[in-house]
Every structure is written in structure tokens, then in C-alpha cells.
Structure 1
Amino acid sequence: MSRTVLLLLLLLLLCGPAAGRPPPAATPRLKLAFPELRARHGLRLFALERSCCYEALLLDEERGRLFAGAQNHLLSLALDDISQRDRKIYWPAPVEWREECNWAGKDITAECMNFVKILHPYNRTHLYACGTGAFHPVCAFVEAGQHAEEPIFKLDPRRTEDGKGKSPYDPRHAAASVLVAWAGVPPSALSSMTPAGSTSPSSWPFFGCRRSEDPDDDKIYFFFRETAVERQQGLGKTSFARIGQICRNDVGGQRSLVNKWTTFLKARLVCAVPGPDGADTHFDELRDVFLLQTRDKRNPLVYAVFSTSSSVFQGSGVCVYTMADIRRAFLGPFAHKEGPNYQWVSYQGRVPYPRPGMCPSKTFGTFGSTKDFPDEVIQFARHHPLMYNPVLPHGQRPLFLQARRALHLPRIAVDRVTAADGHYDVLFIGTDVGTVLKVVSVPKESWHRMEPLLLEELQVFQDASPITSLQLSSKRQQLYAGSATALAQLPLHRCGAYGKACAECCLARDPYCAWDGTACTRYVPSTKRRFRRQDVRNGDPNVLCSEDPRRGSVPQKQLYGVEGSTAFLECVPKSLQARVLWTYQRTPDDPQREVPTDERVVRTERGVLLRSVQRADAGLYFCHATEHGFTQPLLRLSLEVIGARQAAGKAPAGDPQLAAGPPGRKVWYRDFLQLVERPPLGAADRGCQRLWSRGRPPPPPRAPAGAPGRGQGAEPRKARRRRTHEGPRAERGPRSASPW
């Protein structure tokens, strides 16, 4: 087989339907820019001078405060309005640490600072904070008071402790942690233990904790990504998304794995788009994770954001996982390397007792501590940390996809909303261009198959800086976002922005909003009102809006066009997902026909452009919006075409009525056209006019149209030139048949 054939086969594999055709980019229904959010929709901002990097956010509903970590600062802001009643703590790195950092070759103005990376509630009165400390990680306790009315926010710089193993050294590195009572071990030892068999994970974007019925069986679940060789040996090292599990009472081994986790297990998190030929497109770069609490606190839903490291296409996806699927993976077979090529297979040999990954329990077992585990269990855990079965997402595919090459989704927060027809999960996804995507998950055919609806794209930060943190308050209905430059606060809903009609509110399918009979307002489940209309699942205005008194009323607009010039029929629906349809009728009695497009009639995103208006273009135009199977009229536009001579205020001799326009009606456009034909004099022109008036007699007055001019009643030279240029068309008159 020649090299050419081999190259063609390789291109087919790389550019096949599964790898080379990413899903189309999602279009938001409503897109709001920064100025509009700031002026009309309650966007509030907070920023410190000579500071940056608002990454660590801690939302405290009881105190009514938003605690934030930044460069050299700790902040306490009011949840109702982050721009008011702020409290600050200046927490810089010591001078000697900064100088040592600078001697190591770091930038003293950008890197040798104390970037606060971690914030946790420690008890009822104190917080626990950690920062980079100019590449010398440091942690401290912050007194924040117990109640909202207590104006306490202070840190004792003399009572700090080593932050190594808790906060990163480099401010560019991400950090995540969970603060738990670790079997009597102080919090400083939480992150100093490392997993057995791990291949040095590149990042640990999230930690999660689950409590079981047996306190001794409590486990910690954490999410990370790592580079490893798995399954296909010929491809080399590949990035994998992982979920890890350890026991909360793991204190390490007695003789081996000392100060290392002995109960550590990991499984692969799969988030992929199934391909038509069986080849899946994987999103393997884990970015962020959000745990959505349900009624069963032991079984939260796990929402995870991924991106792809593929060189074929770029995109991001959101997958959701259940705790039942996660437990099933960790109770399944272990992965094992076997054969001459060390292929990963399911381990079929004997598994020692207690099963690796089980927690020591004095109540239900014979081992009171991990130090009592047999050496056989410790060695098996060291060499078999990986589970063979991966954790698959709910529905076997991503819940939401965004295939735009220049857009990544680094952060996510989820709110469970009660609507009239059930509970819906609303996703707020932060992007790397300073926007927030608002997505609602609705059942497509059943509650087991969900469909994402991209409701809004909101420009939260004007400078388009990436969103580095998200916090959500369901109680106050507010979203809080952090970036490198500022903190932002935004309401979760903007019901009035969807429109002023029942159909527009219904088509939005926003579980926060409902039609109350007069406007699109916030939906409150406990409120009982006769005219309240909401249907998130179907969003059918034909059923919900039949009693709307304004249904059928269409805004009207009058437009004038000059024959031979251009005219623009503008109509922009509020929904970017709506398809616009234009119809036309010459008289009210004629049937409506769709406006065709050709070289003279051009469709644009904002309307229809008539490049050369004709007399037959006059008539009634209707702009319709079709969305979700529902068509509604948006605008009724009446176009009146003015003849070129009539527009210029001149008419052929013997037709003064055409020149003057309709009786008793002022031709408003005549003055404007005369200005275009003879614009006002500039400064140089006025000077020449003064010189002319001094040295020469004034020019003779211009004869009116139709009056005798110079010579033997000849018409003016300008009018003669115009008639010669126009030719016989000016005498042809308007056409009677429609050009369409």
C-alpha cells in the first residue's frame, strides 16, 4: 500500500463525522450587553484599587455577607448589594518573603504578593483563609462575628500557620479544598497526605464530602484530571478526567503507605458525544464541578464542565452524574495491566479482605484504623487504584454543548427552581470572555431525557476578563461572579426583558418567570393568581395566552420611500432563536404573500433592504416571528412610495398638485431633499460669496419651475440637463404590475 493511500486513510480517521464535525454552537434566546445590564437589570460591581484576582468566594447566608479573597486583601461584602457596606483586611506578604521571591526570579509587582486562594467557615465566629504568601503559602484565622449586625472583620497576623499543602505557591495555579474534622487530626494535615498509586494529578479543581448513615463510612469525593497511559498504549499519555474516593478516617498505613491514603480509589469521568460510527468525541479536560443538593442529602447531583484537548475541534460540554452511578463504579472490578503489551483489563483474581477502598469501622468491622489493615490490602491498593468501569453521565451524553472555538466554560453554578409544572435545574455557566450563560434543562420526551435551552448570554464584565469564580444565592435570587478585575452581582432573572406580551413571556420558558395577566413577572409558587400562566416544559402560547386581551394587536408603523432610492424595513425580534418571516400585500383586500429575495430585495439580520424602491413596492408589510412552532406578528408596516419629482418638490408643467402633495398636507421631506441637493455653505464658500458680492453684481434670481427663462421662453439649463439625463423613463409613469 502506497504512502498516498495511507495518508488518505489517516485523514479519513481524523476528519470523519465523529471527529471533524462538532455540534453547532448554541444560540442564546436573549443577549444582553454590559451597558444594558448595568442600567436596567441590576448589575452591581465592586473592585479595589491596586488589587486583583477575586478567585476565592465564600457565601454566608446567615451573616448576609459575601467573603472574598483577592491580592493582599480579604473582603466582607453585603449580599444584598456588594457595592455597599464593604469591610476590608489588608493582608500582604512580609517584606522578606517578597524579597526572597524576587531573588528567585519572580516578578515582584505581579507574582510576589499574597493571593488569597482558600476561604472556609471554621466555626460560628471565624473563617479559615489561605494565600500564596509570595511563594510562601500561609494560612490564618479570620474573626467575622456571629451575626450580620456585628461589624467584626479582623485578622491577627501574628497567629498564622504554614499553608504548604493547602494553598498553591504560584498565583496562576488553581486551588480547591474542603475543611473537615479528619479523625482528630488538625486541618493542617488534611492535604499533606498523597494518594497511593496516583500519577501526579495536574490539578484538583474540586473537593466534595458525603456523609453516610455510618459515621465511620464517611467518604470524601474529589475531582481532578491527570495525564496517564490508558487503554490505547500506542497513543502515549492522554489527559483524563477523574473522580477520586477516600475514607474520611484514613490515617495512612503502619509499615507501608505511611502518611499516604490507603483507601484511595479513582475512576474515569466520561463526557463524550456518541459518534455515528461508534467513535466518541471526548471532552477530557475537567474545568469545574458543582454539587446540587437534593432532598436526599446523601445523593446530590454532580454537574461538571469539560473542555477538549483535541486538535480537530474546540468546544466545551456540561455533563451531569448521579451518586448511584458513582458508587456503582467504585463497587465494580478493578483495572489491571495484563499481557505483553500491558493492556488494561478487568481484574479477575482474588481481592483481599477487607476490600480496598472500604473504610475501617469499629461498629461493623474488625479493623478500627487503616493502620490495622493487612499488608496484602495495602499492597493491592498501591497497585490497583484505578477502577475498570468508568462513570457515565446521565443520559449517556452531555447535557449542554458549546462548540464555539473561542469560548471556554471554566465555571458553573446550578439552582433548582420550583415551577408550575415541576422542578427545573437552571445552570449559570461562566465563560472565559466575561459572560454568563443561563441554561435550563427541560424534559424532551420524558424526565429521563433532558434538553438544554440557552435562555440568556449576559456580558457581566465589560473588559471581557475570564470568570474565575461563581456563587449563587437562592434565598436572595442573586448570582455573584469574580474575575481578575472585579466582583459582579446580578439577579437570577430578568422577566421584564422578555417582552410585554403573554406569548413572549411564555416562549421564554424561564422557570423564574410567569405571565400574571398584565406583565411577565417573577413566579412565586405560593402565590395564587387567576391569570398566572407558566409552562416551562411545552411553552405553548396557543394554550396559555388565549385570554390575553392584547392578543392580536400588532404595532403599526408608517414608512416613506423615494422612488429609485433605498428603503429599509426594520424588524428585530427579542428572541435570537426566532425565525423572521416577511409577508406583503398591496392593498388590505389582497392576500398576503411571502416577500421573495433577489438582487434588489436583500434580507438582513435586522430586516429587509429594498435597494431600489419602485412604485409597485408600496403596500402593507408584516413581520412575523416563528419560534417553537408558534408564529406571532411583530410589526405592521405601511410603505408609501414617493415619486422622484414629487420628492424634489418639482413636478412637470401643468401638475401643481403633484408638486404640492396632498391638499392640506405638508410634504415634510422636501426641505431635506433640497438640503441634500444644495447643502449649506461652509466657511470657505461664505468667504467666496462675500468676495463675489463686493466685486460683481448679484446673480439673477432663479426662475420658478415651468416659468420662461432666458432667451425665447427656454426652460432652465439645470432642468433641461435633468430631463436629458432621465430620458424617456420620466414620461413612462409608474408601473402597474408588482415586480414580485
Structure 2
Amino acid sequence: MAPGPPALLLGMLLRCCLAWPGPLSAPRVSLSYKELLQTRSVRPFSFAFNTSRYRILQVDQDQERLYLGARDYLVSLDLHNVNREPLIIHWPAPLSHQSECRMAGKGQRGECFNYVRLAEPLNRTHLYVCGTGACQPVCTLVQRGWRSQEYLFRLVPRSLEPGKGRCPYDPQQSNLAVLVNGTLYAGMRVDFMGTDAALFRTMGPRPAIRTEQHDSRWLYDPVFIRAHVIPDSSESSDDKLYFFFREKALEGAVGPAVLARVGRVCLNDDGGQRALVNKWTTFLKARLVCSVVGDDGVETFFDELRDVFLLPTQDEKNPRLYGLFSTLGSVFRGSAVCTYPLSAIRTVFNGPFAHREGHKHQWVPYTGRVPYPRPGACPGGTFTPGLRSTREFPDELVAFVRAHPLMYSPVYPAQRRPLLVRANVPYTFTALAVDLVDAVDGRYEVFFLGTDRGTVQKVLVLPTDPGVLEEVTLEEVEVFKTPAPVTSLWISSKRHQLYVSSDVGLAQLSLHRCGAYGPACADCCLARDPYCAWDGRRCARYRPGATRRVRRQDIRHGDPLRQCRGFNANEQQLVEQVQFGVEGGSVFLECRPRSPHAQARWLLQVKGGGRRPLPQDRILLQTPQGVLLGPVAPSDGGRYQCVGTEKGYRRLLRTLRLHVLPHGLLGGAGPPHPVCESPWARDLDGEWIGTSQGAQNAEGTPSGPEPLGTSPGGLDLHWDWTKTSRRSPPRH
């Protein structure tokens, strides 16, 4: 059995993380909620009245509707515009149920309401919907009409039924559910106290069955994440439900640890005949590993499975599986995304079973005789053509499944490493969606990652050399006015929309904001966004099928020198600005590149037209926003240019004319201190403020600042820097 995660010390964790190739990619574009609204690429939705805990429950691409669950409400939204005539069902728990809930000691965390947590299409005209019902789960039918244009959305009278085994009691508890051909598969805690967790099958023509009760070998305090039906062969009898969860596990040498799992059951499992009656007889599970190995060989595990995304391919038996993981420790904080081929998962389920033996009960691969048919095989499938039902399975097989539900080998990701990692950052990823995008130079996977601080990151992962991945963070946007962890993401490639939910609301977000990268061809090319391309005039959405004479895009290399030849003249013309300084003082030259990946430096133009770098002895402070020069002299006046460089491409970012005023014009007694008496100084809040040399009386003590007006020499010196003027200090 693969060993559990070691108890790593802080130093070992840091060494492992520092060994990850390449620095973390800073977002090329970062937008606050207000800035995002200004792009007109987002539509927020929330109720005007008090409700909370929004969850995207279902997206119906055919009827073009999104079904959103919240506290006491079920909402049907238009996929094109979530604010266009939303259809709302108010479905509160009865007052008697709310009262019983509070009498039972609940309500401190808002449990005594009806939180809608399941909405599955039963047929073309009805949904099957369940809610927590103030700790008394309840389900019902919702009529939605044959077409979305009917605007029909109502509860079906007299269709209420108990929801035990279909919806959790507590809204804080996770659950998964999928309705397949009228049969509901659901994973949750099925009792009021939350001690009995199970994977259930209810409804439909087959008998109701579940996992073995109170057996830690099957499920041990699980948190259910997601479930998908995936065919294993051309035989429909081999179809299986793959479900993903995390649970406590005893494989480690230190004690119970939380591990990520993938489990599966056959859809045509009917339970056993004499043992495991009304229980799964094809239940198997395996560990999902997502880890980073440092240069010193120490392996850091991301064991807390947070989300799973299944990307369909042309081969429906082999979709692409992506898992979002995080760490559990308080010492080290990180997130990772791993991808798993279904072939690797199937190989593990066809491998050795885990078995405990010896006086220490250590885990070893089972080496005894494995019953026939092989445990986990479906009746009537490729390998069991003579069996019609699991009730025909031999007793030996059923007993073996009951004692050995765990596989010995873990499932490792492709290339045995994560696609992307975030370590020692002030956030954790909470939700994941993946889009497959066609670009000029190939097809790319774009990751959308929700965080616990209410933002969404758009990330591209590119192979650069064999065994090396480059992570490109295209943007990070604040999706909600009130920051709240992202609870679910749903993507519509057809409509180029991303739907994001949190406890405070839902947002419809465009997959691209091409204009935010900048007005020039180089900005568009350097961004490396598969959704965007330079069309000859601006950075706009790239449409693979459209016929355009001019399209410039380079995702793999982002080379504007090659792609933007002939379009550089379109770059914005800069206006030379004027800045003043005082002899002996300091001057701040502000220059902030649009991209965080560009390097900026100031150059001083000299006689003859050449340029030279700033003298190092004059640079008092260098920051990402610019440089502080001082003490300056009248000879330092002249033309300064800020040049940005990224991927070998250079551009002029700012040009200014610096005038250094002789100190004598201010009536001062001597040269000021280069920093403390500078006309550019910071206040305690970090703002740049202006100062003036105050006049002195005969005793040499300050007599207060000079009044605003004209100097003795007749030069207009308006030192009120708090007012906006061309001589105002830079703000950043």
C-alpha cells in the first residue's frame, strides 16, 4: 500500500515548494469589482431581499436555462442574460418544521430554513428538486415547460415526498447527486446527527441500495464532491458511476489522515442475495495522489480534494479528468491542479487489492486467490456475459468485496506531477472549470479557478521543454461586490460565458476581456490569451471560423517582434510631460508598466541624441512604481524616457522634461536635506505631498510657510501641491 503523507516539517515543506520550477505567474490583468463592471463583461445577480448560499445546481444547454438554488428559493435564469426575466419559486420550510428544528438544538448556523440543494432534469418538462426542509429533507417536482419561451416554472401540487437519502439534513454538509434514466444516485449524510454517510441509489425500477453502514473500510467520515456516469466499454452493462470524495483513512503510519478518493459502482448493481442485501456488491475505491517532489526527494501531498471537472472528448469512454486539491495543515498553505487519464484509474481498479496482515496490521497487496468474476465487474458485461444480476454472484465474491473495497495502488496524475501549483499565497482555490480553446497555433486548455477570497483566475499551462510546464496567469478579477468564497463554476463554451456562484450571489462573466490587455498589437500578442487576437485595429475576440485578412496571435511564444511587424505605428503616441524639482531635493520619476512581467528603466537623453542610464549614485530608492532621484542639481534637468522591455520587445512608456529650480529662488538659507526636506515627500498614509521651504526670521527660527503667490524674482511658484496641476507629484 502506498504510504500516507509524511508529517513534514516547515523547512522541508518550504524546500519542496521552492523546488517547483519557475516563479508563480502574476496576473497580467487584475481587475477590482468596480473595474470589472466598467468592462461591461459581467452581469451580477442576487435577490433584493434577504437570502444566501447560492449554488449552481444545473445548466440546461437545450432549454438555455440555469437553475440556481438558495435559501428558500429556486431560480431559473436565462443563460444569455441572467438578469432577463428570472423565474423564481419561493419554497420555504413550513413554520412547524422550523420550530421543531430550533427545539432540536439547531439554528445557530441558519440550518432551520429550506436550502435547495438538488435540481435534476427528470424529463423534458419536469425537474426533480430537493431541499433541506429545516433539517427535514423534502423533494418535489417542478414543471418547467417544454420550451424556455413558455416561461413556466412552478411546483407541482401534491408531489411532495420525503427526501431522506436524496438531500442532506444540514446545508453545511456536502452532497452529490446525479439522475440517470429516472434513477437517482446521491452521496450524503442521511441522519439528523450527521453520523451515517452513504452512497445511495433510489427511485427508478431497480431496488434501493446503499454502501455498508458504519464500516470505516467502506466510508470513513467522507466529504462528497462530484459524480459522473462514464461508460467503460461498448457494452451498456459495463456503465459505471465514478464518484469523487475525500475521507479519513488509516493507510498512514501516523494515524487517520484525510485522503482524496475515486470510487465506482456498476449502474446495474442489485445487491447481494444472502450477504450485502440491498448493499453495493461492486463498490471499489482508490486513492488519488496529487503531489510535488522537491529536489531533496521530499514529497508534499495535496490531499484535500476540493473540486472535480470532467472535460468531454470525442471518445466518451475517456474524458479528461481534472482534480483541484489543497493542503490541510496550518503551517503550509497551497493548492494544486492535477489531471488523470481514465485509463490510469481503470488500471488501478484492475490491479491488486489492499489487505491488512501481520501483528501491526500493515497494508500490503493481496496475494491470495481473487474470486471469479473479478470483484468490481458488472453483471452481463464484457467479462461476465453469463451473469444477469449481482444476486447471482458467488458468496465468496460478495464476502471478498465486503472485506476489500480498497485498491492497493494509488492513482497518479499524468506525468506524475501537477499542472499548476500555488504555494504560500494568501488564498486557496475552491472551484474549477476548464475550457478547450482553439487558437491560431493549436488547441489549449484554459483553467478558471475560483478562490476563497471571491476572485476568479484565468490560467494557461503551456509545455515549454520536455518535462517543463509554463504557467501563464492571464487575469484575476473580483467577481462579487462583497467578497465571498466561490462555491461553484459552470462554463458555457458555446456562449463564451462563465457562471460563478457564492453565498452572496451569482455572476455571469464573459470568458474574455481582450481590450483590457491594452490598445496595441504588442499588448494583445504578449497577453497570450487564446480567446483574443489582433485584428488589425484592436485586440478582439478570436473566432476560428471567421475569415479575416489580418489576425495576429502567438500563444506558445507571445512574440510581438514577429507578429506585430507593421502594426507598431498603432501604439499610443505619448505626450511629453513636465516635472519640476528643487536643487538639493529629490524627484520621483513614476513609471508603471501595464504588464507585471515587463521591466522598466529610466534613461536620460544626452547631447547628440543618445541616451544613458541614470547614475547609480543619484538613485535613492527604486520601486515597481518608479525611482527616487536625489539630490538633484540644475544640470540634471533634461529629457527623461522610461522604456519597458518584455520578451525582447521594447517600447516607450513615458517621457518627461525635468526642470530643476535653483534653491536660491525659494529664499532658503541653505541646501535642504536631500530626502527629509524634499518637495516630494510621503505622508503617513503613503500619499505624495508637496512641501515648501518655510521663511525664517532674524533668529533663524521658522516663521511659517510662505504665502501662496510669486517669488521675489517674479517666478510664479504655486506650492499648493494638494491641488491638481501639471506640477502635482505622482500618485500611485
Q: What is the TM-score normalised by the length of structure 1?
A: 0.82
* Deviation for aligned residue 1:258: 1.4
* 2:455 aligned with 1:435: yes
* 2:51 aligned with 1:51: yes
* 2:258 aligned with 1:229: no
d(CA) in 2 for partners of 1:426, 1:200: 35
Residue in 1 that maps onto 2:609: 589
* Deviation for aligned residue 1:610: 2.9
> 156-165 or 253-262: which moved more?
156-165
d(CA) in 1 for partners of 2:8, 2:492: 50
After TM superposition, the structure 1 = structure 2 runs for residues 208-223 of structure 1, keeping only pairs within 5 Å, are: 208-211=228-231, 212-223=233-244
* 2:523 aligned with 1:525: no
When residues 625 and 128 of structure 1 are mapped into structure 2, their CA distance, relative to the original with a 3 A threshold, is: farther
> 480-489 or 491-500: which moved more?
480-489
Question: Which of these residues, 14, 17, 40, is aligned with residue 15 of structure 2?
Answer: 17
8 Å contact kept, 2:603–2:611: no
d(CA) in 2 for partners of 1:305, 1:103: 39
Question: Which of these residues, 542, 548, 557, is aligned with residue 567 of structure 2?
Answer: 548
> 258-267 or 342-351: which moved more?
342-351
Q: Secondary structure at 1:299's aligned position in 2?
A: coil
When residues 704 and 291 of structure 1 are mapped into structure 2, their CA distance, relative to the original with a 3 A threshold, is: closer
Residue 509 of structure 2 aligns with an amino acid whose one-letter code is L
Residue in 1 that maps onto 2:683: none
Q: Secondary structure at 2:407's aligned position in 1?
A: coil
* 2:303 aligned with 1:287: no
In proportion to residue count, which structure has more helix? 1
Residue in 2 that maps onto 1:394: 414
8 Å contact kept, 1:183–1:249: no
* 2:509 aligned with 1:511: no
Question: Which of these residues, 419, 423, 432, is aligned with residue 443 of structure 2?
Answer: 423
Question: Which of these residues, 575, 579, 582, is aligned with residue 599 of structure 2?
Answer: 579
d(CA) in 1 for partners of 2:72, 2:325: 31
* 2:390 aligned with 1:370: yes
Residue 518 of structure 2 aligns with an amino acid whose one-letter code is G
When residues 609 and 340 of structure 1 are mapped into structure 2, their CA distance, relative to the original with a 3 A threshold, is: same
* Deviation for aligned residue 1:517: 1.0
d(CA) in 2 for partners of 1:440, 1:385: 38
Q: Structure 2: which 5+ residue stretches go unaligned?
A: 1-6, 185-200, 669-688, 696-708, 715-732
8 Å contact kept, 1:56–1:117: no
* Deviation for aligned residue 1:706: 8.6
Give me the CA root mean square deviation: 3.0
Residue in 1 that maps onto 2:118: 118
d(CA) in 2 for partners of 1:106, 1:95: 14
When residues 705 and 553 of structure 1 are mapped into structure 2, their CA distance, relative to the original with a 3 A threshold, is: closer
Q: What is the TM-score normalised by the length of structure 2?
A: 0.83
Question: Which of these residues, 182, 203, 209, is aligned with residue 187 of structure 1?
Answer: 203
8 Å contact kept, 2:498–2:508: yes
Q: Secondary structure at 2:569's aligned position in 1?
A: coil
Residue 357 of structure 1 aligns with an amino acid whose one-letter code is G
Residue 210 of structure 2 aligns with an amino acid whose one-letter code is M
Residue in 1 that maps onto 2:368: 349
* Deviation for aligned residue 1:132: 0.7
* Deviation for aligned residue 1:568: 2.6
Q: Secondary structure at 2:106's aligned position in 1?
A: coil
Residue in 1 that maps onto 2:646: 627
d(CA) in 1 for partners of 2:615, 2:485: 43
d(CA) in 1 for partners of 2:711, 2:139: 91
Residue in 2 that maps onto 1:409: 429
* Deviation for aligned residue 1:469: 1.3
Residue in 2 that maps onto 1:735: none
Residue deviations 1:224-280, cap 9 Å, x none?
Answer: 0111111x42x1111110000111111211111112111111111010011222221
* Deviation for aligned residue 1:529: 1.8
* Deviation for aligned residue 1:84: 2.2
8 Å contact kept, 1:41–1:494: no
* Deviation for aligned residue 1:676: 9.4
* Deviation for aligned residue 1:553: 6.9
Q: Secondary structure at 1:260's aligned position in 2?
A: coil
* 2:477 aligned with 1:462: no
d(CA) in 2 for partners of 1:553, 1:249: 65
Q: Secondary structure at 2:110's aligned position in 1?
A: coil
> 499-508 or 272-281: which moved more?
272-281
> 515-524 or 547-556: which moved more?
547-556
Q: Secondary structure at 2:81's aligned position in 1?
A: coil
When residues 355 and 673 of structure 1 are mapped into structure 2, their CA distance, relative to the original with a 3 A threshold, is: closer
Q: Secondary structure at 1:31's aligned position in 2?
A: strand
* Deviation for aligned residue 1:37: 0.6
d(CA) in 1 for partners of 2:284, 2:80: 42
Residue 219 of structure 1 aligns with an amino acid whose one-letter code is K
Residue in 1 that maps onto 2:29: 30
d(CA) in 2 for partners of 1:583, 1:360: 77
When residues 250 and 204 of structure 1 are mapped into structure 2, their CA distance, relative to the original with a 3 A threshold, is: same
When residues 674 and 499 of structure 1 are mapped into structure 2, their CA distance, relative to the original with a 3 A threshold, is: closer
After TM superposition, the structure 1 = structure 2 runs for residues 683-722 of structure 1, keeping only pairs within 5 Å, are: 705=712
8 Å contact kept, 2:265–2:282: yes
When residues 531 and 258 of structure 1 are mapped into structure 2, their CA distance, relative to the original with a 3 A threshold, is: same
Residue in 2 that maps onto 1:314: 333
After TM superposition, the structure 1 = structure 2 runs for residues 166-315 of structure 1, keeping only pairs within 5 Å, are: 166-181=166-181, 187=203, 193-194=210-211, 197-211=217-231, 212-230=233-251, 232-233=252-253, 235-315=254-334
Residue 240 of structure 1 aligns with an amino acid whose one-letter code is L
d(CA) in 1 for partners of 2:496, 2:181: 32
d(CA) in 1 for partners of 2:457, 2:156: 40
Q: Secondary structure at 2:177's aligned position in 1?
A: coil
d(CA) in 2 for partners of 1:632, 1:121: 55
When residues 372 and 449 of structure 1 are mapped into structure 2, their CA distance, relative to the original with a 3 A threshold, is: farther
Equivalent pairs: percent with the same residue?
Answer: 46
8 Å contact kept, 1:20–1:313: no
* Deviation for aligned residue 1:118: 1.4
When residues 674 and 248 of structure 1 are mapped into structure 2, their CA distance, relative to the original with a 3 A threshold, is: closer
* Deviation for aligned residue 1:622: 2.5
* 2:158 aligned with 1:138: no
* Deviation for aligned residue 1:147: 1.3
* Deviation for aligned residue 1:369: 0.6
8 Å contact kept, 1:495–1:513: yes
Residue in 2 that maps onto 1:39: 38
* Deviation for aligned residue 1:10: 9.3
8 Å contact kept, 2:580–2:661: yes
Q: Secondary structure at 1:250's aligned position in 2?
A: coil
* Deviation for aligned residue 1:417: 0.6
8 Å contact kept, 1:648–1:673: no
> 169-178 or 57-66: which moved more?
57-66
Q: Secondary structure at 1:592's aligned position in 2?
A: strand
Residue in 2 that maps onto 1:90: 90
* Deviation for aligned residue 1:395: 2.1
Residue deviations 1:531-576, cap 9 Å, x none?
Answer: 2011111111111011215168752422221224443322222222
* Deviation for aligned residue 1:590: 3.0
8 Å contact kept, 1:292–1:414: yes
Q: Secondary structure at 1:164's aligned position in 2?
A: coil
8 Å contact kept, 1:602–1:610: yes
* 2:482 aligned with 1:474: no
Task: Give the total of aligned pairs.
Answer: 651
> 373-382 or 436-445: which moved more?
436-445
Q: Structure 1: which 5+ residue stretches go unaligned?
A: 1-8, 650-671, 679-701, 708-740
Structure with bigger gyration radius = 1
Residue 203 of structure 2 aligns with an amino acid whose one-letter code is P
* Deviation for aligned residue 1:86: 1.1
d(CA) in 1 for partners of 2:619, 2:108: 63
d(CA) in 1 for partners of 2:357, 2:651: 64
Residue 643 of structure 1 aligns with an amino acid whose one-letter code is P
Residue deviations 1:329-368, cap 9 Å, x none?
Answer: 1111112223322222222221110000100007852211
d(CA) in 2 for partners of 1:202, 1:423: 37
In proportion to residue count, which structure has more strand? 2
8 Å contact kept, 1:93–1:113: yes
After TM superposition, the structure 1 = structure 2 runs for residues 588-667 of structure 1, keeping only pairs within 5 Å, are: 589-593=609-613, 595=614, 600-646=619-665
